[in-house]
Structure formats: C-alpha cells, structure tokens
Structure 1
C-alpha cells in the first residue's frame, strides 16, 4: 500500500468519554490517499468496476452544548475497485459551516440536543440554529457525489473518483434538500423533497441527469413535519406525513421537542413523478415513524411499498445509559424503537391501504439492487444492530417472493456500515453480485472493506481489504458502477 497524508485540518477536540465520540465512533480527522490496498484474506473480485462511498460523522471542534452524533462534520470515505485492485481516499465535506469553524478556530453552532441561544450565528436547515454538516446521506447523480444533511441543508458536490470538492449543487432550492434524494438509474433523474417550519411545509422536485431542475412543486401539510425518506415507482413518487413531529406548543417558544402523536394516522402522498400539487393523493395507514424505505413498485391497481415500521418511535430513556444520555441513546437504539420490515399496499382504484410486517426481527438500513428501483424486485438486504447502540452487527438477505432469509453475523467487536448491493458486470439475476461494507474492528483498532457474494450469502466475505486507518461509524452509503458515473444512467 502506498499512502499520502494530506495537511491536517484544525481541530480543538481532545479525548472524550462520550459514547458517540469514543470506541467505534471515535472521530477520524486524518485525510489520506491510499493506493494498492493490502488484501488480508481472499481475492478482490475482477467482475465489478466502481466506487463504494460512505458518509460519516466526525466532529472537529469541542461542542458548545450537548453533542449528538448527527451534529458531527461530514466525512466521505471512498474505495475504488477495478481489475482486482483497490484504492482508498477520504475527505471532509467542506460545507460553509465547516469552513467557517476552521476560520474561527472552534465551534460556532449548537446541535440537535441544544435549546435556543447556544449557537453564536444563525443556523441552517429546517431546525435552524444548527450547522449544515452534510453528514447524513450520499448518492451519485450526473457523474457527481451528492452529499446531504437530514435537516435540509445544502447539497454538496464531490468528484466520485478524486473526492475533489465541487461546492454547493447549483440545482439546490432555497429550502434546501433533505437527506435521501432518490436516484432512478433507468432515467438518471434525482427525485428529492425538503421540509420547513413555514407553509406549505414541504416541496418535491425532480432533477434530470444533467443537473437541471425539471420539476418543483409545493406539498401542503397541516404543519411542520419531520420526514426523513421517500420512495418512488416508475410513474409515481411517494412522500409522507407521519405522526412524529415537533410539539406545536413548544415550537412556538422555539423549543424542538419531538413527540409521537398516537391519535394521528400515518399519511402517504402519492404524486405522479411530474405531477401538480393538486394531483397528490393521500392514503392513511397505522401510526408509526419510518426512517428508511426500501423500494416501491406498481402492481395492477396497487402500489406496493416496503420499509421499516417503528413500533415505538419515541421510546423511553435507555435505563443503563450514561447520566443525561438516556433519551439520546434510546432514539439511536433499534431495540428501543423496534423497526420491522413492513409492506404497505395502496389501491389507487379504491383508495384503501393494507399493510403487514414481513419479518418480526429488528431490522433497518435496507438495500437492494438499484437497477430494480421503482420496479418489482425480489431481494432485500437489511442490517442488524447491537442492542443499546447505533452500530451494525450483521446482515439479513430476504427473498421477498418465498419468505426465505439468510444471515451473516459479525464476530464480537466488529461493526459494519450500511452495505449497498454491487451488481456483477454482465449480471442477469437480480442477486448476482455482492454486498460491500466498511468494517470497524474494535478488537484490533483497524478498519477494512469486505465483499459478500450474495449468491453464497452465508459463506461470509470473499475478500477482506485493509484500510489505512480506523474509520468512525456513520450513516449512509452508495455503490456506483463506473459506467453509471460516466453515462448517468444504468446499462441494465
């Protein structure tokens, strides 16, 4: 392995005992370029060609108030795999907030858990008073990485091969872009939404593969909401109005306290991809919160939608958490909010909704073959989590036609990343490819990249590739074939 270290960023953060600034969440501040990575076990497949990219939270400065892991500065990690070789590099996302704090030499904004008055400057996004860390999501669109923040910050561009910074995406609207813009690989379009504390409270838009906004319409909601994800079919986009949102009375005092309004239904808004605001149709369902959807598709008169139904969206504080951190840790603990793989069916003819769990296990952060996005699909890949923690301990592959499933569980002390599906070059079958993941090994204080053959799922990794430093844990990731980066649409 050949390693180049870049000049260090300014940091004022020292050692911390905070549960999300230590252990697998210890911030990584080093930026490197590494080529010819060392293979620890197995062989790098020669039948894939592309990049795996993951966004992580890495706080650079000592927090002004109470730290939440979603406050951390965005850092993008990329491994490039081509012709049986692998290279790696990582970069902080140079947001306006990151640059301002580098110039100031310390934190300027409070975070998700802080009340009004902590930040020293006006903030960004729906919440206000917070830094736009661009640390939540990452997709590839129009040949560029798009990095986004869950509270509707600005969309930032990076080069998917070099991670060179491209600044704020030119198509980003005034109210920002929520995490989880969706990419339709068949058309190359990016579908997105945003939300705010002022009417109409949501917008929905479409950006073509050349980076031009071709559609942008208001979506009227009853008040400020906290949507996190969306999903689409070939002809429709599905937005949501879920009964987990800020307490309206406290919000009048600029206090952002999230509540589960159990007496309200979940509502799903189905709009034609280029539909007008008055064409949206709302379907009601059981009250819940959904962090992440899997996929959706059209089947006769129905739209089928899969995602993760939370059985207790606002759980009580975690009893064994460090003092003052019970609420934080419960809201990050899947065993507390209990997400289950779930299927909704919306009948466009009758207006009725039917729904059911597809699995009773605690599962989240699902992935599937993106060439089937918006279309009927068969295989889904979910993560399992460590009780009490926002840490992934393994994977479950589902055959959604037969109901069969297969599992991989990591050894104690090893934690995975969100793991997208990587199609083999020339693949015909939907599951002909790999899962790719970055692994944090707390036992050895190292990190590596693994690939699991989805045709032989329970055999575990076919290759383990050493990374030059230990990563911090984080949130979302994406795989992009080089042909898709080049052409902006999938070859399939």
Structure 2
C-alpha cells in the first residue's frame, strides 16, 4: 500500500521512538539476526509435535522518519521456532526488499512509511528514486511450495523455506498481479488459496484464486458495486462464498498530499457486506450499522443457505479514528441471509478481543474453539490473556500469565495430541519465549516454554507449518 507523490515534499523528521508506544518496550525493533539450536526448554516439549512456527511482524531496519502507524508500518522480520523430537531451534531474518537492501548499503534510513507522501530522490535512492517503502510485514503463508511474506494490498515476497532468505516479489502466476491483502484464505478441501485486494482507483476491489498446484485459477476479478476506495484488512471463506465486510474506513489521497490523514472514518456510510459466489455470479449485498473489523476467526454456510461469520468487532478503527467515545470491542457471531440481506449479530464475549484463530483445518466448516488475545471477564487491565471460546459448548477458559505480553495464538496439531502455541515477552526482563499449551485444557497453562535467544518484538501473524 503506497501513496503516489505529486509534488516535492521535504524529508520528514525522525520519529521519537522512545515515546512511541509501538516502537518502544515490547515493540522496540530487533536488529539482530541469529540462528540458534538446542534452545533451553522449561518443562517438556511434546515429542509428537514436529514442525515450525513462523511469525511475521513490523520491525524497522533503521530508526524511521516521518510517521509510524502500527500495524501497517515497519520493515518485515520473520521469526521461526522449529520443534523436532522435543528440541527447539530459533532463526530470524529481515525480508530484504530493495528499499531495505539500499538502506543497509547506505547505513541509515532513506524511505519514510506508508502514510507519508515523501519519496526520496536519486541523490539518496539512485534507481529507486520516487518509490515507496515496501512492507511485506503482516503475515506469512505457505501454499503450493511457496512461502510468502504478505503485505497490505501489495504483492508478497517469496521466502526460501530453508534459510528464510528473500527470493523476491511473487505474483503467484498472476493471481496476485496487482497485489493481495495480508490474509488470503486456504480452503483445506480444495487446496485453493483465495484472496482479495483493494486499490485507490477503480475498480477499487478485486478477488482472485490460486489453484492447489500454484497456478492462477482466477486472475484479479473486479467486485461489482464498489465505488469508493476502502481499507479492508481480512476476509472470510466458506464453501460457497467469499465474505468481505466493507467497513466505512475511506482512503482520502487528496488529504494526505496536503498533510492530512490518509484514512477517514465515515460511520454514516454504515457497513456493507459482500457475499461473492466462488462459483461466479452476481454479488449478494447486505447492510448494517457502522462497525470495524480487523480480523475474522472463520465462516461457514448454514443449511438454510445463510452464512455464519465469527470475528473480533470494534466500534471504530482505533489509531485511524477518534470519535471521542470508547472503542469497545467484542467477539461477535453474525448470520447473513444472502436472499434478504438481513444481518443478525450475536455477542459471544462483550469485551476487547483480537487475533481470533481456529484450527485452520476447519476453515470453511463449522469450527470448535476460537482462541484470541483479550481481556478476562471481570478483571481490569489490558488485553493480557489468551482466551479460548468453545463455540459448541458455549464455554470459555483463559490463560493469563503475569508480566507476559502475549502474542497471537496458533493451533498446532501433533501426531497424537493437539496444542496451542504463541510467542510472548516477559516484561520484567524482556526475555521472549515460545509457549506450548494443551488444546484439551489450555487454561491449565503451558506444557513447556522455550527461551528464545533474543527478544522478539510484539508483532502480528503467524502460521504453523507441520513437518
């Protein structure tokens, strides 16, 4: 995602990192790259759990200039924890875009970030003059032999699965020719990778499909009925539909070129819901009051033809809007009728939650447990716990370690049992750990934790890659 320069803009000032919430403390950038085997394990790692946890996240290679808007900004760093027969190894590397390579050669920052209109000239950037910083720093996806570091509305970068070295941009045989958002969805039944992308210019919104063999099954196809550039971060996939929530966070390029904010929250527009038939055909539309969604847990088709979607809902996108009212969050289940456009929302948990994850093998099907970061009911404080919602039983449990900044949970199936994992950082000494919890009873706490050799900045999304 980038803003096109239309006139000369002065080089921005450095960001005050010490006083920036997402550039200090557990978010402070990590510049060290390491590869360490036989890590210290507290407890006992399950020997039936073999594979690798990969996590992406924003991590500026050099101290940034201009603005820094989390979670969009920051160079990508991949972190990998490999588990094999009860042992652990950690590796990390920057994703080396042309901008990162040029800055490493210069020894200092050259580019500003996504919402800055500044572009460096040839005196600093050489052949890359006038380009924007590329930011494949949101998610990591494996599909059809490709390991991809995903950006926000841009082409991903292909990564060497052995070394984590950067191979280069990848269009996935043309399915991502104009880019992809960070959250494509893999259909476990068909092996298809389904994605969408938003743009600043018409047609504003497209969708594509990568076949199980890695070829483009559908190249970028416009979503009819969209007349405004909107930010849409995530999607839902069911057997029949691609579900996109068009929340009213509008791009205003004219404002940013005159020093204003690039994104404008316009709640009077409400939230529109697009149900796009995977088999082709006209889009089914539904409408609702304005709300914001960063991330979905899952969706599935119901026997009566309606669509069920579970997601983390917010009153508005904090960080991009400030209406002066509390930004209340909740875990919500919505049922959408494609025929009438009626939307019925039910609150599962009436408090702040984020990063909802399921057993990815259940994608497009009725799922069991949803794991999230969030607040424990009846307790004060921030989102300092892992919450586990059993959607069939209607029950909830949690694990709330003291002093640990918890990260996104990930489901990890072993050959005999099932587990949840996540990276967390102990605020008392800033040490980072990889935690393994039993899926059968995650509230009982970790079976094991692995001490990582360096601090891992609080970041975004990851994937479990079974061996």
Structure 2 length as normaliser, TM-score?
A: 0.86
Match of 1:422 among 409, 412, 416: 412
C-alpha distance in structure 2 between counterparts of 1:57 and 1:46, whole Å? 32
**Mean Cα deviation higher: 239-248 or 74-83:** 239-248
Deviations along 1:309-367, whole A, 9 cap, x unmatched?
212335xxxxxxxxxxxx57979xxx953221111111234332211211102111101
Whether the aligned pair in 1 keeps the contact of 2:286 and 2:338 (CA below 8 Å) is no
Q: Matches of 2:16 and 2:146 in 1, distance apart? A: 34
Query: 1:263 maps to what in 2?
Result: 268
2: distance between equivalents of 1:25 and 1:120? Answer: 30
Structure 1 partner of 2:134? 132
Structure 1's 351 and 312: CA in aligned 2 closer, same or farther, altered over 3 A? closer
Return the match for 1:87 from 71, 86, 89.
89
User: Measured at CA, do residues 254 and 153 of structure 1 come closer, stay the same or move farther in structure 2, by a change above 3 Å?
Assistant: farther
| Counterpart residue number, 1:7 | none
1:36-75 alignment, distance < 5 Å: 36-39=38-41, 41-69=42-70, 70-75=72-77
Tell me how far apart the structure 1 counterparts of residues 431 and 15 of structure 2 sit (CA, whole Å): 21
Cα deviation for residue 65 of structure 1 reads 1.3
> Are 1:132 and 1:154, in contact at CA under 8 Å, matched by a contact in 2?
no
- What residue is the counterpart of 1:343 in the other structure? 333
> How many Å apart are 1:102 and its aligned residue?
2.3
Task: State yes or no: 1:368 paired with 2:368.
Answer: no
Residue of structure 2 in register with 1:169 after alignment: 170
Deviation at 1:464, TM superposition (A): 0.9
Q: Secondary structure at the match of 2:99?
A: helix
C-alpha contact 1:64 1:119 (8 A) present in aligned 2: no
Q: Aligned residue for 2:391?
A: 400
Q: Does the aligned pair in 1 maintain the 2:171–2:177 contact within 8 Å?
A: no
Once residues 25 and 339 of structure 2 are traced to their aligned partners in structure 1, the CA distance between those partners, rounded to angstroms, is: 52
TM-score by length of 1: 0.82
CA distance in 1, matches of 2:198, 2:83: 37
Which of 296, 301, 318 is matched with 1:293 structurally? 296
Q: For each residue in 1:421-451, what CA deviation from the matched residue of structure 2 results, as whole angstroms up to 9, or x when unmatched?
A: 112325xxxxx51110111112122111111
In structure 1, runs of 5+ residues without a counterpart are 1-11, 315-326, 427-431, 483-492
Residue of structure 2 equivalent to 1:441: 426
The Cα shift of 1:90 comes to 0.6
- 1:278-315, CA deviations, whole angstroms, 9 ceiling, x for partnerless residues? x211111221111001100011111101111212335x
1:233 to 235, 238, 241: 238
Q: Aligned ranges for residues 113-128 of structure 1 at < 5 Å?
A: 113-114=115-116, 116-117=117-118, 119-120=120-121
Where in structure 1 do 4 or more consecutive aligned residues deviate above 6 Å? 12-15, 328-331
Q: State whether residues 112 and 130 of structure 1, in contact with CA within 8 Å, keep that contact through their aligned partners in structure 2.
A: yes
In the TM superposition, residue 384 of structure 1 has moved relative to its aligned partner by 1.6
CA 1:119–1:401: 2 relative to 1, 3 Å: farther
Cα distance between partner residues in 2 of 1:336 and 1:425: 45
Number of residue pairs the alignment of both structures matches: 438
Report if the CA contact (8 A) 2:263-2:320 is conserved: no
Is 1:243 the equivalent of 2:242? no
Following the alignment from structure 1 to structure 2, what is the Cα–Cα distance between the partners of residues 337 and 166?
Answer: 40
Query: 1:358 aligned to 2:348?
Result: yes
What root-mean-square deviation, in Å, do the aligned CA atoms of Structure 1 and Structure 2 show? 2.8
Contact 1:13-1:62 at 8 Å conserved across structures: yes
Of 362, 365, 370, the residue aligned with 1:380 is 370
Q: Does structure 2 retain, via aligned residues, the 8 Å contact 1:71–1:131?
A: no
| Structure 1 residues 179 and 97: alpha-carbon distance in aligned structure 2, compared to 1, 3 A threshold | same
Helix, strand or coil: the match of 2:310?
A: strand
